[in-house]
Homo-oligomer: A and B are copies of this chain.
Amino acid sequence: MTYQSVEAPGKTIGTDALRSRPCPHNPAVSCSNCRLSDLCLPIALNKSEIQQLDNIIERNRPLGKGEHLYRQRDEFRSVYAVRSGSFKSYTLTSDGKSRVTGFYMPGEIIGMDGIGSRSHGVSTMALEHSSICEIPFSQLERLSHQLPNLQSRFFAIMGNEIVKDQQIHTLLSSYTAEQRLASFLLSLSTRYARCQRSPDRFLLQMTRGDIGEYLGLTLETVSRGFSSLQKKAIISVKSREIAITDMAALKAILGE
Contacts and interface: CB of A to CB of B under 8 A. Distances in A.
B114 A159 contact: yes
Nearest to A138: B152
A163 interface: yes
Given A145-B151, A152-B141, A166-B101, A112 B173 contact: no
A91 B151 CA distance: 28
Interface stretch (A13-21, A28-36, A92-100): A92-100
B156 A148 contact: no
A94 B251 CA distance: 11
A251 to B, nearest CB: 10
Interface string A150-161: 011011111111
A218 to B, nearest CB: 10
A165 interface: yes
A200 interface: no
B116 A160 contact: yes
10 A-B pairs closest in CB distance: A115-B159, A173-B216, A116-B159, A165-B165, A116-B160, A172-B172, A158-B158, A101-B166, A121-B163, A99-B170
